[in-house]
Amino acid sequence: MSKLFENNIRDKPYSLPKDFFWDTLDLNDPVVLKELYNLLTKNYVEDSNNMFRFDYSEKFIHWALNPPNYNTEWFCGVRTNTGKLVGFIGAIPVTVNIYKIEKKMAEINFLCVHKKIRDKRLAAVLIKEITRRINICGIFQAIYTSGKILPNTLSICKYWHRSLNCKKLIDVKFAHLNNNMTMKRYTKLCALPSKAELEGFRKLKQSDIPEACALLNKSFLNYDLTPIFSENEFEHWFFNCHDIVQCFVVESDKIITDLISFYSLPSTIVGHPIYDKLNIAYLFYNVSTKIELTKLIEEVLIIAKNSNFDVFNALNIMENDKFLNKLNFGVGDGNLRYYLHNYTCSPLTHKKIAFFLQ
């Protein structure tokens, strides 16, 4: 970092409107974590029809924002003069591989402003303030995603959905029957075997972490946008939070050859008389070297269904196009756009991305 640039970083926080103040959140404090949960639950991302809203649990928020080497100063909250939390933006440190160049970046997430004060333009100030705090730490690039169209899109990806609980998905209008489809045919189309039976397929064990981490990092050489995980980071993201993320490996002749994972992120169902929650599994990282990827995905679909998930979501990144149609995933109606802050490079096709933000 040049001395000139260092001198241009503000040493004081950006100004907020009257009756608001900054608060750095201690997410190890259960009371503060509950406040952030309440803010996100009632004010964070909804679908375009305002029927479904992400329901990040307190444990999920802590998992997503407290990896190894996290910085509490990057948990940037805004409160009213009564102490109510009304705004937040978070960031975590991440090592990014972009076109085979390794960069220390910040991963930005959970930008949220209370619905009742969105005329105060707090989102722009939150972004400037988190940028300032990250710059103070000597990091000047960031990665983030958005469903909205913003300048300098790096790549555009789509979510695909695999129905597991067909009747519920129709009842809550998450899925729809077209003119040629009956409920009976739809249910039959989505049927899966009753149990997983892939030879050598098992849950990740702690003793697997060095080998599994190396396998995943090696697979990243096939892509142009990836993280690079240390073993401690791998343990955090894939092993330490069993009720959030599930990771499985295939072992053959005492060698781990394949890896697949998914995490749980339910959505609140807004205004439905019977159902209030949609149990959603999201495909996470996968590596397929011996077992066909479609077979690996089918195994976790069976596990997800038997674990009472209603739907299984997957982005069309990595090599996921190989199985989406074969396994009866349906394409969603929204886009997820990837962005890099303060880093210029050529746009990426979705197939060359292997990077997930929760």
The partner residues of 287 in beta bridges, in order of sequence, read 259
Please name which of 108, 49, 33 lies closest in space to residue 41, comparing C-alpha atoms.
Answer: 33
Residue with token string 């781990």: 256
The partner residues of 278 in beta bridges, in order of sequence, read 267
Q: Report which residue type is found at 153.
A: T
pLDDT for residue 251 is more than 50? yes
Confidence tier at 180 by pLDDT (50, 70, 90): confident
**2-56 per-position pLDDT tens digit:** 343 455 889 899 999 999 999 999 999 999 999 999 999 989 876 666 788 889 9
Q: Would you kindly state where each structural domain of the chain is located, as residue ranges?
A: 3-140, 155-352
Q: Within 10 A of 325 (CB to CB), how many other CB atoms are there?
A: 11
Average pLDDT in the chain? 94
Please name which of 87, 81, 74 lies closest in space to residue 35, comparing C-alpha atoms.
Answer: 87
**189-222 per-position pLDDT tens digit:** 888 988 878 999 999 999 999 999 999 999 999 9
Instruction: Classify domain 155-352 at the CATH class level.
Output: alpha beta
Residue 318, Ramachandran bin (φ over 0: left; ψ between -120 and 50: alpha; else beta): left
Tell me the two tokens of residue 232: 């401690």
pTM equals 0.94
The partner residues of 357 in beta bridges, in order of sequence, read none
Please name which of 245, 244, 268, 263 lies closest in space to residue 54, comparing C-alpha atoms.
Answer: 268
Mean pLDDT computed over 155-181: 91
**314-350 per-position pLDDT tens digit:** 999 999 999 999 999 999 988 999 999 999 999 999 9
The CATH label, of 3.40.50.300, 3.40.50.150, 3.40.630.30, 3.30.70.580, for the domain at 3-140 is 3.40.630.30
**49-96 per-position pLDDT tens digit:** 678 888 999 999 999 999 999 999 999 999 999 999 999 999 999 999
Q: Percentage of the chain with pLDDT > 90? A: 81
**Residue 3: HSE in the Cβ half-sphere, 13 Å Cα cutoff:** 0
Query: What is the DSSP code (8-state) at residue 353?
Result: B
> Which residues, 6+ apart, have CB-to-CB distance to 8 below 8 Å?
none
Q: Return the pLDDT at 90.
A: 98
pLDDT for residue 108 is more than 90? yes
Q: Which helix (H) or strand (E) holds 293?
A: helix 293-306
67 vs 147, more confident: 67
pLDDT for residue 146 is more than 70? yes
